[in-house]
């Protein structure tokens, strides 16, 4: 296979330095760099090398070059993050840690064990209220005093705030307080499917104005309000998000292994390139959605990106 052009990046995150080739130009077409902002494989306890879920290293190798963010969720989050850190030389796809839900954080010092493990994203809540903030299925409250302090501590450490699962009040509180662009790693558009986990057009506009990125997720109830969905439904939400936010603020956040249901045509990480190829945009916009947009905000979660070489 003849390579016509290669754009190379070196991404430095904390002490890690990772070489990537976000876009390969070949005689066979373009191979996209893919950044999936959320999966729950860690919390399942399955082997990361090969399993019967949605994501494993074998399928990430098949998916191609990129980044897979793996979220730690539940009471044993630190153990999950340690298990991820032990995986080395896995694939052409970097596995980066994130935290989903700060339920175990009771004081500012409670963030220290997480920061030692260098997550790129930190989700304050998981649906319900906790000591940090209100969740999307909670009482409707926003950031608590501890939550406000947590935002400052996390941002000072280079961790981006993930507003997935947050209440609308928490969303607006964080946007008012945050100095770095927050992300919503996995959600869809409330205008197309009025689910509590989805964002309104006003929220999407504000997130884009703050420099953030929304990862469109693949969970059918967020796409259609039903237990079934299609690739066309993923494309529909992606198109709507692009129309509201601009192409520079939309990405993907599959929620693989965090949901039992997936759209027809998607069974795991290996199918993401076909989904990206089916989006009704040109190559430049598809490359942004596939990985470029989350890669752009990622330097703020680490030491930066060295420009193309």
Count CB-CB contacts under 10 A for residue 125.
27
For residue 234, what are its two tokens? 């993923």
- Domains of the chain and any CATH numbers: 32-302 (3.20.20.140)
pLDDT, position 90: 59
Using CA atoms, how far apart are residues 33 and 156, in angstroms rounded to an integer? 29
For 174-213, b/e burial (b = at least 16 CB within 10 A) is bbeebebbbbbbbbbbbbbbebebbbeeebbebbbebbbb
Distance CA 53, CA 152 (A): 36
The conformation of residue 199, written as its DSSP 8-state character, comes to B
What is the C-alpha to C-alpha distance for residues 299 and 211, in angstroms, rounded to an integer? 13
> Are 255 and 217 spatial neighbours (Cβ–Cβ below 8 Å)?
yes
Q: What is the pLDDT at residue 206?
A: 98
pLDDT, tens digit only, all 309 positions of the chain: 222 233 444 454 444 444 444 444 433 345 689 999 999 999 999 999 999 999 999 999 999 999 999 999 998 999 999 999 998 665 688 999 999 999 999 999 999 999 999 999 999 999 999 999 999 999 999 999 999 999 999 999 999 999 999 999 999 999 999 999 999 999 999 999 999 999 999 999 999 999 999 999 999 999 999 999 999 999 999 999 999 999 999 999 999 999 999 999 999 999 999 999 999 999 999 999 999 999 999 865 544 332 222
Eight-state DSSP code of residue 200: P
Using the Cα atoms of residue 130, residue 194, residue 168 and residue 247 in order, give the sign of their dihedral: positive
Q: Which pLDDT score is estimated for 2? A: 27
Q: Which two tokens stand for residue 200?
A: 């309104």
Residue 301 near residue 8 (C-beta atoms within 8 A): no
Sheet holding 304-306, edge to edge: 29-32, 16-26, 3-13, 304-306
198 in helix, strand or coil? coil
Confidence (pLDDT) at 92: 80
What is the C-alpha separation between 66 and 101, in angstroms, rounded? Answer: 25
Element (H, E) at 175: helix 168-177
pTM for this structure? 0.90
Distance between CA atoms of 203 and 206, rounded to whole angstroms?
5
Give 278's Cβ-side CA count (13 Å radius).
14
> What pLDDT is stored for residue 299 in this prediction?
62
Residue 87 pLDDT: 87
Measured CA to CA, the distance from residue 119 to residue 197 in angstroms comes to: 23
Q: Which helix (H) or strand (E) holds 20?
A: strand 16-26
Q: Look at residue 3 in the predicted model and tell me its pLDDT.
A: 28
d(CA 61, CA 294): 20
Quote the DSSP letter at residue 58.
H
What's the confidence (pLDDT) of residue 123? 98
């Amino acid at each position: 296979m003849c390579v016509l052009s290669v754009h190379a990046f070196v991404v430095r995150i904390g002490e890690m330095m990772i070489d990537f080739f976000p876009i390969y130009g070949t005689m066979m077409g373009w191979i996209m760099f893919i950044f999936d902002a959320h999966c729950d494989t860690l919390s399942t306890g399955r082997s990361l090398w090969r399993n019967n879920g949605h994501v494993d290293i074998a399928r990430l190798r098949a998916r191609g070059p990129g980044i897979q963010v793996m979220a730690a969720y539940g009471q044993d989050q630190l153990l999950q993050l340690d298990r991820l850190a032990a995986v080395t030389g896995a694939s052409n796809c970097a596995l980066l840690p994130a935290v989903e839900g700060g339920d175990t954080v009771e004081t500012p010092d409670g963030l220290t064990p997480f920061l030692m493990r260098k997550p790129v994203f930190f989700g304050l809540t998981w649906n319900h209220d906790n000591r940090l903030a209100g969740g999307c299925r909670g009482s409707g409250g926003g950031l608590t005093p501890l939550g406000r302090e947590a935002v400052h501590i996390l941002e000072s450490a280079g961790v981006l705030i993930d507003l997935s699962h947050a209440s609308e009040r928490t969303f607006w509180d964080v946007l008012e307080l945050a100095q770095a662009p927050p992300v919503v790693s996995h959600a869809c558009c409330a205008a197309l499917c009025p689910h509590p986990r989805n964002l309104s057009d006003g929220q999407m506009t504000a997130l884009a104005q703050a420099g953030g990125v929304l990862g469109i997720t693949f969970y059918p109830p967020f796409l259609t309000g039903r237990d079934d969905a299609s690739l066309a439904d993923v494309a529909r939400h992606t198109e709507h998000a692009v129309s509201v936010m601009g192409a520079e603020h939309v990405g993907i956040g599959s929620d693989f292994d965090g949901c039992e249901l997936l759209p027809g045509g998607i069974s795991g990480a290996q199918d993401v390139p076909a989904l990206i190829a089916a989006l009704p945009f040109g190559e430049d916009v598809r490359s942004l959605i596939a990985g470029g947009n989350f890669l752009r905000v990622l330097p703020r979660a680490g030491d930066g990106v060295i420009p193309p070489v």
